[in-house]
Amino acid sequence: MMLSPQELERYARHIVLREIGGPGQQKLGRARVLVIGAGGLGAPLLLYLAAAGVGTIGIVDDDAVSLSNLQRQVIHATPDLGLLKTESAAGAIRRLNPHVEVVAHIARLTAANARELVRGYDLVADGSDNFSTRYAVSDACFHEGKPLITAAIGTFDATLTTIRGHEKGADGTPNPTYRCLFPDAPPPGMVPTCSEVGVIGALAGVVGAMMALEVIREIVGFGQGLVGRLMMIDMRDMRFETIRYRWDPDNPLSGAKAEAPA
């Protein structure tokens, strides 16, 4: 895959980076990334993946743009009100970078369709806002052997991690899965939604951009990523902390009693 003169100019600041260079930019151009949700996290994530030159970006979302979205979902604009978010996001991506192919999946991801959706991509980034989707995505990525970057935000707080639960670490121990980190979803209603308690819009921008950085790191390969590490962000007091978590032998995906994947 050769970069055109226009691409060489567009990605010049990547190409001069020792950690990316021409070969890394070519890897980005060949990559297929599936983004779950074109909302608060998905909006900046999609823009930065497109700007970075990721060759194919899939978007899973079945919602339409509403006025209350625009406080944080910066890929959409006032003229987009009423459009499907996949349509609005695809238009913004094409305006930003016509070299990127956008695939719209107008659907709500569920346990029934998750494996089919992730199967055609190299890597998945989940910016969904509910636990049922997060578990469905993470389980599908495990069974299909796909890396997963997953994040969640609250009012002023957020978490971010990278999951490669289908692989083993250097010592031969399986990498942790999402279910090692969060074995069970909280009871319904325990975690309030952003419509109930609010969310600072810029937080979504910070975390979505960090998700994009993790996606680029996984594709190109540089530095130390967040496999087995959970980044916790407190924007009220501007604190960033990272904790380690490990494989749980009791987890239902790769644990001692796990059934072989279909």
C-alpha pair distances (Å), 101 with each of 117, 158, 234: 16, 30, 35
Active-site positions read 194
**pLDDT tens-digit map of 120-131:** 999 999 999 899
E-assigned strand segments in 37-164: 56-60, 101-105, 123-126, 148-153, 157-163
DSSP 40-52: TTHHHHHHHHHHH
Per-residue pLDDT tens, the chain, 262 aa: give them: 789 999 999 999 999 999 999 999 999 999 999 999 999 999 999 999 999 999 999 999 999 999 999 999 999 999 999 999 999 999 999 999 999 999 999 999 999 999 999 999 999 999 998 999 999 999 999 999 999 999 999 999 999 999 999 999 999 999 999 999 999 888 777 777 777 788 999 999 999 999 999 999 999 999 999 999 999 999 999 999 999 999 999 999 999 878 655 5
Q: Identify whether the C-beta of residue 40 lies closer than 8 Å to the C-beta of residue 202.
A: no
pTM beyond cutoff 0.85: yes
